[in-house]
Amino acid sequence: MSTGEAAGLPDWLQPVADAALGVRPEQLSRFSPPADGGRAGAVLILFGMGEAGPDVLLIERAHDMRSHAGQMAFPGGAVDDTDADEVAAALREAVEETGLDPRGVQVFASLPALFLPPSGFVVTPVLGWWHTPAPVHAVDPREVASVHRVPLADLLAPANRLRVRHPSGYVGAAFRVGDLLVWGFTAGLLDRLLRLAGWEQPWDHSDPEDLPPDLTAMAGRTEVTG
């Protein structure tokens, strides 16, 4: 774990910063980076204070993309040669996807790199505090269908928590966000991070629900992990 500047964070966000200090890769994912590396990527997990209280920024990927089509995700992507590091890559991708003003973001930690077997990416989650929010939107509809500031209260509400089952046999955590469903890698990382921060409320872990047919069809273009 590497840290940015944690001073100045709101009290409610401090548990996330504390959890990031000693977190191990196996606490976040069952897939650790391979010894021979992989393609470097980064995502921005951006916490802000919205009209409905603390929230996190998520995008809905375009429905006709070749991988992870239609999935809810953190802004992010591949680390380019022009990026100084994973933090720079996460911020750049967020700007390109949502129109985010990076001057309003304080990066306070980076989590251990995690492996996504389907794409071969080794992804570094970058944690940020959105101290000066500005409007965001889907910059390029060919890549992003919609952008959402999702209240943490909605993610934590037991009624919005579930497990989903993909026809491949994958079963993982998921969140209902209005008429959208957060699942796969993003849901798995959110599930673990909220638990490590001590925010998780008891919810029904029993029988998983089948992934809706439309999401199953889009996910069929990419192997599923969580």
Span 170-184, average pLDDT: 93
The Cα 88–Cα 180 span in angstroms is: 29
pLDDT band at 223 (very low <50, low <70, confident <90, very high): very low
**Amino acid at residue number 88:** A
> 3-state SS of 153-175?
HHHHCHHHEEEEECCCCCEEEEE
CA distance 150 to 129: 14
Report the pLDDT value the prediction gives residue 66, as an integer from 0 to 100. Answer: 58
Q: Between 4 and 215, whose confidence is greater? A: 215
Average pLDDT, stretch 149-161?
A: 98
Burial of residue 78, with CB atoms counted within 10 A of its CB: 0-12 exposed, 13-18 middle, 19 or more buried: middle
Beta-bridged to residue 60, according to DSSP, are 72, 146
Instruction: Please name which of 185, 191, 190, 187 lies closest in space to residue 224, comparing C-alpha atoms.
Output: 185
Of 29-38, 46-55, 98-107, 141-150, minimum mean pLDDT range: 29-38
pLDDT of residue 220: 59
pLDDT per residue as tens digits for the range 3-22? 456 779 999 999 999 999 99
Q: Residue 5's pLDDT is what?
A: 63
The answer to whether residue 222 scores a pLDDT higher than 70 is: no
- Topology of domain 2-219, CATH: Nucleoside Triphosphate Pyrophosphohydrolase (3.90.79)
Average pLDDT over the chain reads 90
For residue 141, which amino acid is it?
P
Q: Residue 32's pLDDT is what?
A: 76
> Per-domain residue ranges for the chain?
2-219
pLDDT tens-digit readout, 53-82: 999 999 999 876 555 667 899 999 999 999
